[in-house]
Amino acid sequence: MTSFAAKSFNAAAYFASRPTYPPAFYDLTLAYHTSRGGEKESALDLGCGPGLIASQLTSRFTTVLGVDPGEKMISVAKSASVLPEDKLAYRVGKGEDLSFIEDSSVDLLTVGQAAHWFDFDVIWNELGRILKPGGSVAFWGYGENTFPNHPSLQGIISKYQASLPWQQPGRSIVEGLLSSLPFPVAPSQAPSPTLNLLSSRPWTLPQEPTPPAELTSTGWDPESMVRIRETPEGGPLGIPKTMTWEEYDDYLGTASGLHEYARLNGEEAGKKLRREFLDEIKEGVKQEGGRDDGKIDVVWPAVVMLAGKKL
């Protein structure tokens, strides 16, 4: 988080290089939300970064607010928006303190690749306070990228990622696809039948993390708690993207672990590490007869974690 919030962080490059969530993520989340009786007046995107999700929610909700602790992220989001502030607004803030948002005023709250930064002894109370009855929370996350056409190279990726000084426990939460994050209440053993609309086997892991001990917010629906890691067709949930090598290199440059490595070892050392990894991957793809158009197919394994309040 410190890397993304730093004034030197290149938020514009982050905006251009990060994977974007396909329409299926929005469709799935809206199907969940509306099937439980949720309304579509107010949406909040928490940890909004440069506004990737918030801007997409404007076609589905009357008003959207994006909140992020990084001033540069908010600056980029505002500069990219062409909508009036009464439709789409952004402000600096943290999920653990949303005192500027009224009680029971938010229909849907989304979090894209940011839930691993939260203090879960605090945040469920704050989210429970601002959500309306029937409101929903959707955490979207993705793990370490893969090259589906070159699975033999995964070891190189894992070795490189392990060499970076990631902030913990955030990195392990990301790699575990949010499986260690607690729901506000223990999930029901018999989730609502409406959730069958979303996936062939969407249910939670057999052993769930213990919910926060100091939960003061009420109204959470145990039948609404679910983690989804597969598509309705039964395949793994993922974010696919075809990238040029230059785009993939830019994506590598947005990693907080690499920024921390450069801070500890110097900018040149960070560039050298990144360049050596990219050269090794490119050579591996070449040896396996990769695409001849200078591009690479990338997939990030993904998860959608959903929780809702009772009507």
Q: How many whole angstroms separate alpha carbon 231 and alpha carbon 197?
A: 11
Q: How many whole angstroms separate alpha carbon 57 and alpha carbon 41?
A: 11
Query: Tell me, what's the pLDDT at 246?
Result: 94
**Residue at 163 is within a domain:** no
Tokens representing residue 55 in the block: 């801007």
Residue with tokens 């948002």, as numbered in its chain? 101
Q: Say how many domains are in the chain.
A: 1
Which of these ranges, 4-8, 100-104, 282-286, has the smallest mean pLDDT? 4-8
Average of per-residue pLDDT across 223-241: 84
Q: How many whole angstroms separate alpha carbon 202 and alpha carbon 91?
A: 34
**Burial profile 136-165: b = 16 or more Cβ within 10 angstroms, e = fewer:** bbbbbbbbebbbeebeebeebbeebbeebe
User: What's the mean per-residue pLDDT of the chain?
Assistant: 88
**Residue at 254 is within a domain:** no
DSSP 179-228: TTPPPSSPPPSS--GGGGGT-SS-PPPSSPPPPPTT-----B-GGG-EEE
> What are the pLDDT digits (tens) for 259-276?
999 999 999 999 999 999
Query: Tell me, what's the pLDDT at 157?
Result: 95
Which of these ranges, 72-86, 157-171, 212-226, 278-292, has the smallest mean pLDDT? 212-226
Query: Tell me, what's the pLDDT at 205?
Result: 42
Query: Tell me, what's the pLDDT at 223?
Result: 86
Query: Tell me, what's the pLDDT at 201?
Result: 47
Q: What percent of the chain has pLDDT over 70?
A: 88
Evaluate if residue 138 carries a pLDDT over 90.
yes
**Residue at 123 is within a domain:** yes
Any residues with CB less than 8 A from the CB of 18 and at least 6 apart, and which? 49, 52, 113, 251, 254
Average of per-residue pLDDT across 135-151: 96
Evaluate if residue 214 carries a pLDDT over 80.
no
Query: Tell me, what's the pLDDT at 132?
Result: 97
**Residue at 258 is within a domain:** no
Q: How many whole angstroms separate alpha carbon 249 and alpha carbon 85?
A: 34
Q: How many whole angstroms separate alpha carbon 158 and alpha carbon 140?
A: 22
**Residue at 23 is within a domain:** yes
Which of these ranges, 130-139, 231-240, 246-255, has the smallest mean pLDDT? 231-240
Query: Tell me, what's the pLDDT at 9?
Result: 53
Strands 131-142 and 295-308, by their bridges, are antiparallel
CA nearest neighbour of 304 among 145, 186, 136, 188: 136
**Residue at 118 is within a domain:** yes
Which of these ranges, 9-23, 174-188, 244-258, has the smallest mean pLDDT? 9-23
Torsional class of 20: left (φ above 0), alpha (ψ -120 to 50), beta (otherwise): beta
Evaluate if residue 195 carries a pLDDT over 80.
no
**Residue at 193 is within a domain:** yes
Evaluate if residue 178 carries a pLDDT over 80.
yes
Predicted TM-score (pTM) of the model is: 0.89
- In this structure, the number of other CB atoms found within 10 A of the CB of residue 118 comes to 22
Average of per-residue pLDDT across 156-164: 95
Cα torsion through 274, 276, 282, 286, rounded to 10: -170
- In this structure, the number of other CB atoms found within 10 A of the CB of residue 32 comes to 26
Q: How many whole angstroms separate alpha carbon 79 and alpha carbon 63?
A: 18
**Residue at 247 is within a domain:** no
Looking up residue 42, the CATH number of its domain turns out to be 3.40.50.150
Evaluate if residue 257 carries a pLDDT over 80.
yes
> What are the pLDDT digits (tens) for 91-104?
999 999 999 999 99
Tokens representing residue 29 in the block: 């989340």
> What are the pLDDT digits (tens) for 108-137?
999 999 999 999 889 999 999 999 999 999
Domain that holds residue 61: 13-149+170-239+301-308
Q: How many whole angstroms separate alpha carbon 68 and alpha carbon 58?
A: 17
